[in-house]
Amino acid sequence: MLHLRHLLVMSRLGNPGSGSCTRDCSGRGECYNGTCMCNIRFTGELCDGPNLPYHAGIGGVFCFIGLVCAVQLVMCIVSEYTRLKAPTWLKACKVTTQKLIYFVMCIASLLRGAYFIFPESFENGWSSSLLSAYYPLLLSSASLIVCFWAEVFHLQGISWERPQFLSKSFLAFITFNIISYSLLFAEFITTQLASPPPDDPSFYHHLFNGCYAVLMFIVVIFFLIYGVEVYFKVRGGFVTTPLQLASGGVVGGGGGENTINEVQPLQADAAFPKAYINVSQLHQSRIGLLSQAFMLIIIAGFLFSETLSEFWKTKVPINSRNLHDILFRVVEIGVTLWFPAVLWNCMQPSELWILNPRKLLAKLDQPKNEGECTVDGATLPKVDTDDEAFIDKRECWICYDSDKKEPLIQPCDYG
């Protein structure tokens, strides 16, 4: 019966000489010999229904990434709570770079996932602007990393091993995000109050996508500038001594000597006698940096192409446009997945190269168990002597012998 119905519909779509389709494929596809070739987002004989496998697949991936970010955020808060000397949930929830990225990407992923899983609910009204809400949230996370790396490069004497937030670059971060979210608000107001051209119902959507593309291109430029300085040239406030490869050789220089001439210390510090480059961490950071920059550039290019779609989409076969759409979504997934991937260690952020640039440095002259003390064969952790309220894994405790009766501190005898 279904097959017969299909034949009847096909017979009405077009006759052997006309090549036309009923309702022009609902404006969501192209007619080939009386048969509708639908846009990847739609399906059906008249392209009048959503392509459920496409929407469920992409939406499911985004929702999964959002769930991963939410779990990482909870684990990060719980881990910080257990490390506090006077634990309170308010202190554990204090905003840090890591936690803010988890939160922002969780919201961005869930919004994107909801848009694809329930496409018909986001077609009209104010909810249609939620498709664009993904880009300001993505820009927030990317700009936060750029500002963090700017402080890594310019500021000295900061303990990057501690969970923290922006300091000197906070105003720049806020200013940039005011611009991006103002665009989102302007898009929301425009789509509610102004009617798009009849022949281009997505006109305003494409216009604001072009604005997001410009902002994303600006972020990528600074992402590469500071990323190259920190993770390629290994320069910045976190470098306090001349650098060598961890293998023992020195890199760069003339003749038979391999000195890193381009990596000059910003100041000498006796506390770090010899710093060596950790080659493994260096390669990981470079691959992570370039992959994200490449994907952000691709997304900016896709957004520009969507802005100019009226000049090229009608000239390109629908199969090519569908491939363009699939590649666009795959790259969006890759960009979103990058954040929880590089922030994988939610319990020890000091082990992440993206948050602790000192991971690029390996101190080979420091004894492995330096700073540890033992009592009855048990090793006690080493104490960090700063004024933070954290119990660090490296904390060191004074080993007091209770059998000795003399005072713990002896006065100096100058007689």
**pLDDT tens digit sequence for 16-39:** 334 567 667 777 778 877 788 888
Nearest to 265, CA basis, from 238, 239, 230, 231? 239
At residue 75, the pLDDT reads: 94
Tell me: do 290 and 319 sit in the same domain.
yes
- Buried-exposed string 186-210: b where 16+ CB fall within 10 A, e elsewhere: ebbebbeeeeeeeeeeebbbbebbe
Tell me: do 59 and 174 sit in the same domain.
yes
Is 50 exceeded by the pLDDT of residue 153?
yes
pTM: 0.74
Cα(106)–Cα(64) distance, integer angstroms: 10
DSSP state of 382: B
DSSP state of 93: T
CATH number (domain holding residue 305): 1.20.1070
Q: What is the number of domains present in the chain?
A: 2
Q: Which two tokens stand for residue 322?
A: 């569908």
Is 80 exceeded by the pLDDT of residue 276?
no
Tell me: do 230 and 305 sit in the same domain.
yes
Tell me: do 232 and 318 sit in the same domain.
yes
Tell me: do 92 and 168 sit in the same domain.
yes
Q: Is residue 327 in a domain?
A: yes
- SS3 of residue 13 by DSSP: helix
Tell me: do 119 and 164 sit in the same domain.
yes
Q: Is residue 398 in a domain?
A: no
Q: Which two tokens stand for residue 77?
A: 């808060």
Mean pLDDT over 244-262 rounds to 43
Q: Is residue 259 in a domain?
A: no
Is 50 exceeded by the pLDDT of residue 305?
yes
Tell me: do 23 and 75 sit in the same domain.
no
Tell me: do 24 and 133 sit in the same domain.
no
Mean pLDDT over 41-70 rounds to 89
In which domain, by residue range, is 8 found? 2-35
Cα(173)–Cα(179) distance, integer angstroms: 10
Is 50 exceeded by the pLDDT of residue 248?
no
Tell me: do 30 and 145 sit in the same domain.
no
Is 60 exceeded by the pLDDT of residue 250?
no
Higher-scoring residue by pLDDT: 93, 371: 93
At residue 347, the pLDDT reads: 87
Tell me: do 64 and 207 sit in the same domain.
yes
Cα(263)–Cα(266) distance, integer angstroms: 9
At residue 265, the pLDDT reads: 38
Q: Is residue 21 in a domain?
A: yes
At residue 103, the pLDDT reads: 96
pLDDT bracket for residue 131 (50, 70, 90): confident
Q: Which two tokens stand for residue 100?
A: 């803010």
Q: Is residue 42 in a domain?
A: no
Handedness of CA 331, 335, 340, 341 (dihedral sign): positive
At residue 216, the pLDDT reads: 95
Q: Which two tokens stand for residue 222?
A: 């600074």
At residue 180, the pLDDT reads: 94
Tell me: do 20 and 149 sit in the same domain.
no
Tell me: do 26 and 163 sit in the same domain.
no
